[in-house]
């Protein structure tokens, strides 16, 4: 799974909208779309412990990304269904297209870990994975081991990559951009929030997910490498060992679900990304509100 | 000494507030990683960036010397 990358990609999507959609796609919808897959599935991945008894998935990777399980929450199929539902309910293209792009960003970037996502569900339940780093959520290790493994592997590089993508488009974080591109796409929501917050507060709300991503990246990396003292294979380490090789880190066992050949995954994922943008552009024109006579 | 323009002061204040929010959140969440979640993280940002100036204004209003004469 990706961690702070999911926070940064929201701003990356916002900054790289097709030209005709700039200033017209809902930022909140992009956020909700990106948030939905993990919101629906992740609560049971780590589980909860009450009175020393853990309640959660026995095989978190199967629950999170597999079938049977909640793996369908990370599929473009569910994204398309929910997007259609939003359109039928709201007839609002700013929300519909924003949601689609956010959801697709999440489902497609999660092909990087060793478990991947079921990109062609329901036609096949095979997972698609590039194996860039190991999926590390386990029933025993919980969130700590997962975080330590992710921020010791190329997952860390993935977060930094997405951070750099946003920083390269730094204007997306400015007050001017927020005023001219974000507020006009969601006037009612921002106006409603404006009953409680001044402009500084509203801007903080807009930037808060980016803030959370940066802090998450810094805090987990600091903890994993400067604070934790893990014992791995009977040896005590000062911090979890870095392993920026492909499919790292070496110090946890890999988890996989039956998958398509790895060499197919990257070109196919990029093709799907292009297809999602192409579809969004086509739908955008068709969804244009018709003037009332 | 010339007073900096209001916009520059505002940018500096904003930078200070975000840095304060970031440093305090990272520091607290390294100690208690339960704070690193979707709700607390964004809420911490908004609370510090919007809340600290609002608190400052409240405190200034409460200072006896600053009260308007009856």
Q: What pLDDT band is residue B67 in, cutting at 50, 70 and 90?
A: low
pLDDT of residue A136: 93
Asked if A100 and A277 touch (Cβ cutoff 8 Å), the reply is no
Instruction: Inspect the interface and report whether the beta carbons of A220 and B36 lie closer than 8 Å.
Output: yes
- The partner residue sitting opposite B50, judged by closest CB among A201, A214, A215, is A201
Per the CB < 8 Å rule, is A197 touching B30?
A: no
| Among A40-49, A279-288, B8-17, B53-62, the least confident range | B8-17
Whole-number percent of chain A with pLDDT over 90: 92
Structure confidence by residue, pLDDT tens digits, A104-126: 999 999 999 999 999 999 999 99
- Asked if the model's pLDDT at residue A135 lies above 70, the reply is yes
Q: Is the pLDDT of residue B6 over 90?
A: no
**Cβ A93 vs Cβ A20: under 8 Å:** no
Predicted complex: ipTM over 0.85: yes
Helices assigned H by DSSP within chain A: 4-15, 27-41, 43-46, 60-65, 76-90, 93-109, 142-150, 154-168, 175-177, 187-193, 199-222, 262-286
- Do A284 and A25 meet the contact criterion of CB atoms below 8 Å apart? no
Measure CB to CB from residue A219 to each of B30, B42, B53 and give the nearest one: B30
What string of H, E and C letters represents the secondary structure of B1-67? CCCCCHHHHHHHHHHHHHHHHHHHHHHHHHHCHHHCCCCHHHHHHHHHHHHHHHHHHHHHHHCHHHC
Model confidence band, residue B9 (pLDDT cutoffs 50, 70, 90): low
Interface of chain A toward chain B, CB-CB under 8 angstroms:
35, 143-144, 147, 197-198, 200-201, 203-205, 207-209, 211-212, 214-216, 218-220, 222-223, 227
Chain-wide mean pLDDT for chain A?
95
Cβ of A208 and B42 within 8 Å? yes
Which of A249, A218, A60, A79 lies closest to A154 in space, CA to CA? A249
| Tokens (6 digits) for A185 | 């796409």
Residue of chain A with shortest Cα separation from B18:
A211
Measured distance CA(B59)–CA(B11) in Å, rounded: 22
Residues of B with CB under 8 A from a CB of A: 14, 18, 21-22, 25-26, 29-30, 33, 36, 38, 41-43, 45-46, 49-50, 53
- Nearest CA-CA distance, residue B1 and chain A, Å: 28
DSSP state letters, A214-245: HHHHHHHHHIIIII---EETTEE-SSPPP--S
Q: Give the C-alpha separation, A37 to A107, whole Å.
A: 7
Residues of A in contact with B52 (CB under 8 A): none
CA distance B24 to chain A (A): 10
A contact test, residue of B35, B41, B53, B56 with most A CBs within 10 A:
B41
Are the Cβ atoms of A212 and B21 closer than 8 angstroms?
no
Do the chains contact at A204 and B49, CB–CB below 8 Å? Answer: yes
At A223-278, the pLDDT tens digits run 999 999 999 999 999 999 999 999 999 999 988 899 999 999 999 999 999 999 99
Residue A206 near residue B20 (C-beta atoms within 8 A): no
The answer to whether A185 and A92 are in contact (CB under 8 A) is: no
- At B70 the pLDDT is 53
pLDDT of A139 > 70? The answer is yes
Q: What is the pLDDT of residue B7?
A: 63
| Percent of residues, chain A, with pLDDT higher than 70 | 99
Q: Look at B38 and A35 and tell me if their CB atoms are within 8 Å.
A: yes
A65-108 pLDDT, tens digit each: 999 999 999 999 999 999 999 999 999 999 999 999 999 999 99
Is pLDDT of B2 > 70? Answer: no
Tens of pLDDT, residues A27-36: 999 999 999 9
pLDDT of residue A245: 97
Q: Is the peptide bond before A249 cis (omega within 30 degrees of 0)?
A: yes
Query: pLDDT band for position A293 (50/70/90)?
Result: low
B23-63 pLDDT, tens digit per residue, is 999 999 999 999 999 999 999 999 999 999 999 999 998 88
What is the least distance, in Å, from the CA of B70 to any CA of chain A?
A: 30
How far apart CA A125 and CA A68 sit, in angstroms, is 9
Which of A147, A204, A216 is closest, CB to CB, to B50?
A204
Chain B residues within an 8 Å CB radius of A218: 22, 26
- Would you state the pLDDT for residue B8? 64
**Contact between chains at A212 and B49 (C-beta distance less than 8 A):** no
Specify the residue for token string 């398309």: A80
Is the predicted pLDDT of residue A213 greater than 60, yes or no? Answer: yes
CA–CA distance, A178 with A173 (Å, rounded to integer): 7
| Interface mutation target, options B38, B47, B54, chain A, most CBs of A under 10 Å | B38
pTM for the model: 0.93
pLDDT of residue A71: 97
Query: What pLDDT shows up at residue A141?
Result: 87
Instruction: Yes or no: say if A21 and A97 are a contact pair by the CB < 8 Å rule.
Output: yes
User: Of the ranges A140-149, A180-189, A250-259, which is most confident?
Assistant: A180-189
Mean of pLDDT values over B3-13: 72
The predicted-structure confidence for A53-66, as pLDDT tens digits, reads as follows 989 999 999 999 99
């Amino acid at each position: 799974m990706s961690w702070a990358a999911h926070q940064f990609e929201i701003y990356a999507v916002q900054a790289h909208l097709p030209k005709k959609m700039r200033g017209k796609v809902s930022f909140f919808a992009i956020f909700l779309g990106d948030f939905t897959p993990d919101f629906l599935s992740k609560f049971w991945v780590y589980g909860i412990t009450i009175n020393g008894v853990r309640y959660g998935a026995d095989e978190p990777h199967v629950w999170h990304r597999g079938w049977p399980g909640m793996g369908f929450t990370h599929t473009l199929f569910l994204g398309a269904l929910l997007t259609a539902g939003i359109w039928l309910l709201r007839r609002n293209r700013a929300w519909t297209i924003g949601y689609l792009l956010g959801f697709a960003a999440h489902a497609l970037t999660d092909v990087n870990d060793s478990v991947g996502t079921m990109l062609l569900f329901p036609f096949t339940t095979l997972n698609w994975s590039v194996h860039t780093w190991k999926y590390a959520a386990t029933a025993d290790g919980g969130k700590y081991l997962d975080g330590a493994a992710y921020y010791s592997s190329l997952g860390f590089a993935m977060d930094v990559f997405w951070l750099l993508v946003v920083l390269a488009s730094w204007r997306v974080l400015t007050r001017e951009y927020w005023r001219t591109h974000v507020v006009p796409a969601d006037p009612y929501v921002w106006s409603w929030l404006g009953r409680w917050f001044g402009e500084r507060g509203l801007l903080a709300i807009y930037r808060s997910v980016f803030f959370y991503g940066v802090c998450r990246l810094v805090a987990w990396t600091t903890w994993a490498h400067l604070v934790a003292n893990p014992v791995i294979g009977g040896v005590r380490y000062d911090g979890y060992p870095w392993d920026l090789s492909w499919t790292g880190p070496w110090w946890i066992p890999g988890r996989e679900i039956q998958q398509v050949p790895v060499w197919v995954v990257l070109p196919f994922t990029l093709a799907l990304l292009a297809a999602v943008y192409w579809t969004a552009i086509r739908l955008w024109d068709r969804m244009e509100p018709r003037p009332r006579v | 000494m010339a007073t900096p323009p209001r916009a520059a002061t505002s940018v500096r204040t904003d930078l200070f507030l975000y840095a304060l929010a970031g440093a305090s959140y990272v520091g607290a969440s390294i100690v208690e990683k339960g704070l690193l979640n979707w709700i607390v993280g964004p809420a911490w940002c908004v609370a510090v960036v919007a809340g600290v100036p609002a608190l400052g204004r409240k405190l200034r209003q409460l200072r006896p010397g600053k009260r308007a004469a009856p």
